[in-house]
Structure 1
Amino acid sequence: MLVIKSKAFIILILAFGIFGIINTEMGVIGILPQLAQYYDISVSTAGLLVSLFALAVAISGPFLPLLFSGMNRKKAMLLVIGIFIIGNIVSIFAPNFTVALIARIVPAFLHPVYFSLAFTAAASSVSQDQAPKAIGKVFMGVTAGMVIGIPITSFIANVSTLQLALLFFAIVNIITFLAILFFVPSMPVKEKMSYGSQVSVLKKPVLWMAIFSAIFILSGMYAAYSFFAEYLESVTGMSGGLISLMLVLFGLTGVAGNLLAGKLITNHALKTVVVFPIIFGVLYLIVYLLGSFTVPMVILIALWGVLFTFGLNISQYMITSSAPEAPDFSNGLFVAFANLGVTIGTIVGGAFISGMGTQSVMWSALLFLTLGFVAVLFFVPLARKDYKRIAN
């Protein structure tokens, strides 16, 4: 069996696995109308394929990574990807919507397990001070899955069949499975922590402030991003084709944001955490003021993409750095509460749009970022105190 020791290549494989899972989660967004027609259901009912997937992730996030924390990480990742492949294949041939829904929900519970394993494996493959950079590279899989996976899936369904679009999910995960099997070395857990010692990190005030900060920041990010296309169509007046290009631009600058975030968190972690919600808030305010002008919006979308992935990296850093003694558990907490932030932000953003119009969604995002900034101000002194305690 071929085993590659290149750390960069292993991190690339881990990121591709993240892409496959996010692609499975988010890719159906682009084919919900076709799925609704195929199963003869409403689009809102078809939307359960997305919302129940996210709910399963949020439920399992704090617990399943904990249960897998003592297992060889390579074997655990192969198990998770294998179950996703089975779910993908069942989805292709599902005779009814219920079977299709079950085929998505079952793998969804294991989504946080792979994320936790991938982040922990990436961090452990480099020195401790370089861990944020490695995790930032793995986060590129998130960006690719969100921004590239949706249009690719939609394109395949439009030019061929719905089944081929679903097959795309399976193919990506099969490639990941084979890459991990043949190129990733065995990753045994050298020192397994007891479940009780890992859960005990929940007693730390700094961890809870990190969690609240992450929830508010991610809610602020998704309150606006969830209605990205609608904002560009209703406020900016962009065509469908131009909006697709803006999604690509958002994704490309997001990749750059991952790399930049890794460097800044490595060298200036707490300063970056404090400044981030301020800069993002200023961006949202400018988007609100200049949203009807196409050229300024193109520039703002490029910056938006950079800051968006910054927020993902910062949220993960705050939670995991607050509980370094339990990396698998803390990464699971990040995935769970990140999905909670997505849910809260989307619901509140939608409520603002229903009550005050599309442009008002920026005020909902600013509200959450303000709360996030306040939470960060409480988090930072606790984090400094905790870092000193660990250093001593």
Structure 2
Amino acid sequence: MAANPNTQALSDLGVSIWLDDLSRERLDSGSLQELISTRNVVGVTTNPTIFENALKNGAAYEEQLRQLAAEGADADRAVSAITVEDVRRACDVFAEVYTATGGVDGRVSLEVDPRLARDADATIAQARELYRAVDRENVMIKIPATVEGIEAIAAVLAEGISVNVTLVFSLERYRAVINAFMLGLEKAHADGYDISAVHSVASFFVSRVDSEVDRRLELAAEAGRPGTEKLRGATAIANARLAHQIAAESFSSERWQLLADRGAHPQRLLLASTGTKDPNLSDTIYVTELVAGNVVNTMPEKTLEALADHGVVDGDTMTDTYVDSNRVLDGITAAGISYRGVVDTLEEEGLEKFETSWNGLLKTVEDGLRRHAG
């Protein structure tokens, strides 16, 4: 099967396309393998919401639920067993991609329990457990970039475990994430790990920024502040482009060069939450306006198919955009909107949404166990 020309063009420009979705049904049907062949998909990200939807909408888990019920498993153990199996199987699907790219792609992410996001020690302990349970080199353990998570990220990387840092919204927090990444690699090297085998991405969330800023811009307009209209739908792209600037500067520093000389791979910027939420914006805007070499874009299938159908990929759209991007952030400040207030709100909401999804996942699995136990 031939690759789609639009996804191929994006891939040719150095963007790794990852799918932001996974389910047992997708694995059983061969859909994931088909996306590798036809849509240039080279990795997968998961989160509690994705697994909640998979369990609610699929009958493919019934046999495993029956087995777990017979074993007397509780909901927490069952959720772990189910999600680990899906991720392990997806890792096997991507094994050839992983080998062909030297471990850069072919990655599948599995997130720690979001209820642990404010507990560094518990996050570290579960990251180890998940890494051992999946038992595949190409797994990445997802850790939220809370203040407490920053400590956990460095510690887990220091043990030679590859990490997907998630829920990054602010430029300040992104700098802290990169610092934690380098600290982890420095300690891993000091402790004798082969740091050339350790990989990481930082998931910088995009569309949710526009949703929150545009809501506040609307309130500012109602209050009579001028100049708000031109800023709508502009902040998320500007924010992500400035994150790209931070990455470019950080991974050309003397500190980084010392690690690179020891075989380290740079932590890649991963653009997450790239599905368009505003119907007035292009359904591919958070893909085609965020193109640069050595970045990852993880897309829900709807966005991936929109890209394949009508996305226009026309070269690098991030490098050399930094001056204009700073003007956008200056503009929202001038409109009376607190950047810190926006990103703090988004982090809290993101954690709450994932915890709600996790509890929904536990409830769905608990109902399934009860059904089979009866």
TM-score by length of 2: 0.26
Name the structure where helix makes up a greater proportion of residues.
Answer: 1
Give the TM-score, by structure 1 length: 0.25
Q: Which has the higher contact order (CA 8 A, sep 6+)?
A: 1
Q: Which structure's residues are more often strand, by fraction?
A: 2
